[in-house]
Homo-oligomer: A and B are copies of this chain.
């Protein structure tokens, strides 16, 4: 079918569940999410690929799986150079770009994130944009927590957010 995106998909195990990795032929990440939320992820993808897409299983596409495995083994910086390609509104892009500037081991509040993208009052909207992030872990939406230090929410489940922050050596309240 002409015009339909040809995507590469791989799956890797992690201490907190299996991860699905989707890349395009240019080597850019299109989506990363937990297997048990695969439906939601595919729905997100489908919304942006109007012409449909084909998923081709491929071991370690463009070295992306290797990088993610390294991250889980303790090489936190392994995911930093990875390139991503996502659709989304200008507001969402601003939020996601800002997320990648948060270093591992740090966590900021939703209010702080809103401030950094120049929309200090769009606090709740920032939370929404966070939840719409198609690329878990690499775009570290888990590094944003409540102003009072509580973990608030996470698409993959709070326990994973807690694990990831601990893995990155971040002391958080609660």
The interface of chain A, by Cβ under 8 A from chain B, is: 2-3, 5, 24, 26, 48-51, 85, 87
Q: How far is the CA of A26 from the CA of B24 in the complex (A)?
A: 22
Residues in chain B near residue A48, CB distance under 8 A: 50
Residues in chain B near residue A50, CB distance under 8 A: 48-51, 87
Q: How far is the CA of A7 from the CA of B96 in the complex (A)?
A: 31
B2 adjacent to A26 (CB under 8 Å): yes
Which residue of B has the minimal Cβ distance to A48?
A: B50
Residues in chain B near residue A3, CB distance under 8 A: 5
User: What is the minimal beta-carbon distance from A86 to any residue of chain B, in angstroms?
Assistant: 11
7 further interface pairs, Cβ-Cβ under 8 Å (given A2-B85, A50-B50, A50-B51): A2-B24, A2-B26, A3-B5, A48-B50, A49-B50, A50-B87, A51-B87
Residues in chain B near residue A5, CB distance under 8 A: 3
Q: How far is the CA of A77 from the CA of B5 in the complex (A)?
A: 36
User: What is the minimal beta-carbon distance from A92 to any residue of chain B, in angstroms?
Assistant: 15
Residues in chain B near residue A24, CB distance under 8 A: 2
Which residue of B has the minimal Cβ distance to A3?
A: B5
Q: How far is the CA of A8 from the CA of B67 in the complex (A)?
A: 41
Which 3 pairs from chain A and chain B are nearest by CB?
A: A50-B50, A2-B26, A48-B50
Pick 10 A–B contacts, CB within 8 A, sort by A. Answer: A2-B24, A2-B26, A2-B85, A3-B5, A48-B50, A49-B50, A50-B50, A50-B51, A50-B87, A51-B87
Q: How far is the CA of A49 from the CA of B2 in the complex (A)?
A: 12
Residues in chain B near residue A85, CB distance under 8 A: 2
